[in-house]
């Protein structure tokens, strides 16, 4: 194992030497010089093995920093995106300064469990809005549900249909989804036609792209301010995150 790490460190050092900038051909290392450099590095590492640990710790720090920068860029992109969404996808005050952005799946039991918490929060705090991001990841029925929900917006029924599906207990298959649509006053025949719109698939595809950039792999997942908060968090945690977002 130690030999493999030594080899990696030597390769990294030689890479730095080779990549330090353009050099005339006569300045390139000869095979003999390269062997001498490798031996010098190997001897130094064997005499000072702690540098391997330090190097790995520094590499991990740099990777974490790069991931954090990328995530912050993705969060900024997400906030820019949700600013373009119509109010149909917003719970609470559409003009509220603080946004909770929720990635959800209609067939996710944890999304259903946290839904009353979200509703209670926007009812209590009029300066919070919840932006709903359709993110179907649990199979064909989930995709069907999201496409139906998005299509219902054309009839002004998105939020009421959303709530009906989130509040449904039991199996949520295609037949049940259409029954729920009918129950809340959606014209089901029109809905089936509207669900074929390519714009719906494009919207869902965009949401998957945003989720990939953020590193969202499950539901529910919330973005509150500049922080990604995965999982079905409780009301107190959500309030604390909102307070933190406002202070920052």
Establish if 236 belongs to a structural domain: yes
Q: Are 124 and 220 part of one and the same domain?
A: yes
Count of Cβ atoms closer than 10 Å to residue 53 Cβ: 10
Q: Are 93 and 53 part of one and the same domain?
A: no
Percent of the residues in the chain that have a pLDDT greater than 90, as a whole number? 67
Establish if 75 belongs to a structural domain: no
Q: Are 98 and 207 part of one and the same domain?
A: yes
Number of domains, the chain: 2
Pick the residue with more confidence: 127 or 68? Answer: 127
Quote the domain boundaries for residue 215.
80-247
Establish if 152 belongs to a structural domain: yes
Q: Final residue of a domain: which of 40, 70, 100? A: 70
- Quote the CA–CA distance of 145 and 226 in Å, as a whole number: 29
Query: Binning pLDDT at 50, 70 and 90, where does residue 24 land?
Result: very low
Digit-coded pLDDT (tens) for 142-151: 999 999 999 9
Helix (H) or strand (E) holding 77: helix 50-82
Q: Are 14 and 126 part of one and the same domain?
A: no
Kindly report the pTM of this predicted structure. 0.73
Average pLDDT, the chain: 87
Q: Final residue of a domain: which of 13, 44, 70? A: 70
What is the pLDDT at residue 15? Answer: 55
Long-range contacts of 85-88 (CB under 8 A, 24+ apart): 85/131, 86/153, 88/153, 88/156, 88/158, 88/159
Q: Are 144 and 179 part of one and the same domain?
A: yes
What is the pLDDT at residue 32? Answer: 83
Query: Binning pLDDT at 50, 70 and 90, where does residue 71 land?
Result: confident
Q: Is the pLDDT of residue 13 over 90?
A: no
């Amino acid at each position: 194992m130690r030999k493999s790490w030594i080899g990696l460190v030597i390769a990294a050092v030689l890479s730095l030497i080779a990549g330090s900038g353009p050099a005339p051909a006569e300045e390139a290392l000869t095979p003999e010089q390269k062997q001498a450099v490798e031996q010098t590095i190997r001897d130094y590492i064997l005499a000072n093995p702690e540098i391997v640990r330090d190097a790995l710790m520094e590499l991990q720090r740099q990777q974490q920093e790069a991931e954090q920068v990328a995530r912050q860029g993705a969060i900024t992109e997400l906030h820019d995106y949700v600013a373009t969404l119509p109010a149909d996808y917003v719970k609470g005050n559409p003009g509220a300064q603080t946004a909770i952005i929720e990635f959800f799946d209609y067939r996710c039991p944890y999304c259903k469990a946290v839904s009353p918490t979200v509703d209670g929060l926007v009812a209590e705090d009029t300066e919070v809005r919840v932006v709903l991001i359709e993110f179907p990841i649990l199979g064909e029925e989930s995709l069907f549900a999201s496409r139906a929900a998005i299509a219902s917006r054309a009839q002004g029924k998105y939020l009421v249909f959303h709530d009906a599906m989130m509040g449904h207990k039991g199996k949520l298959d295609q037949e049940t989804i259409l029954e729920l649509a009918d129950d809340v006053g959606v014209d089901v025949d029109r809905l089936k036609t509207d669900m074929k719109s390519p714009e719906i698939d494009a919207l869902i595809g965009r949401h998957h792209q945003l989720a990939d950039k953020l590193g969202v792999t499950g539901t529910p997942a919330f973005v509150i301010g500049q922080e990604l908060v995965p999982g079905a968090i409780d009301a107190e945690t959500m309030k604390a995150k909102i307070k933190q977002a406002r202070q920052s």
